[in-house]
């Protein structure tokens, strides 16, 4: 059972361990959706070559999700990392479609 804290207590307490990132706003939902997509992609990757398409597409969706989170958090490291990953994944998809 989770104990409910008073908002003032939450704000000023050094005893209650709080998350540095926002909770239950748009970025929180996007973040968990993107994480689920990346986990699905890893699962598909470990399942074998037959699931390569699922792997690539879910990786792309997850990475785009994390890019959006980076934009919402205004975190330049997350934006940079995911922008590079999106570019490489999109390049891989395009190459696959061309062949």
Partner 1 sequence: MKTDEKILNDMETEKIEEKLSSDIREEFANSTMTKAGRLAMELNAERKRLKQELAEMQIEVEDLKPATPTGTVDSHVKWLATIFAVSGVFCISAGLEQEGQWLYAVSACAWIYVGHCWNDKAIMIGSAITGTSVLMKIVEGLVQ
Q: Taking Cα atoms as reference points, which of 28, 5, 29, 27 lies closest to residue 17?
A: 5
Beta strands in 13-90 (DSSP E): none
The DSSP line for 4-57 is P--HHHHHH-SSS---SS--SSHHHHHHHHHHHHHHHHHHHHHH-GGGHHHHHH
Of 32, 47, 53, 96, the one binding partner 1 (CB under 8 A) is 32
Answer yes or no whether residue 22 interacts with partner 1 by CB under 8 A.
yes
Of 54, 72, 90, 93, the one binding partner 1 (CB under 8 A) is 72
Answer yes or no whether residue 85 interacts with partner 1 by CB under 8 A.
yes
Answer yes or no whether residue 3 interacts with partner 1 by CB under 8 A.
no
Answer yes or no whether residue 19 interacts with partner 1 by CB under 8 A.
yes
Q: Using CB under 8 A as the criterion, which residues of the chain lie in contact with partner 1 when the complex forms?
A: 17-22, 27, 31-32, 34-35, 38-39, 42, 45-46, 72-78, 80-81, 84-85, 88, 91
């Amino acid at each position: 059972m989770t104990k409910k804290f008073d908002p003032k207590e939450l704000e000023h307490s050094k005893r209650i361990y709080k998350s540095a990132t926002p909770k239950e706003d748009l970025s929180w939902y996007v973040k968990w959706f993107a994480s689920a997509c990346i986990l699905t992609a890893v699962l598909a990757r470990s399942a074998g070559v037959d699931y390569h398409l699922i792997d690539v597409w879910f990786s792309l969706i997850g990475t785009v999700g994390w890019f959006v989170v980076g934009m919402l958090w205004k975190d330049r490291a997350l934006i940079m990392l995911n922008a590079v990953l999106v570019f490489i994944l999109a390049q891989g998809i395009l190459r696959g479609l061309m062949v």
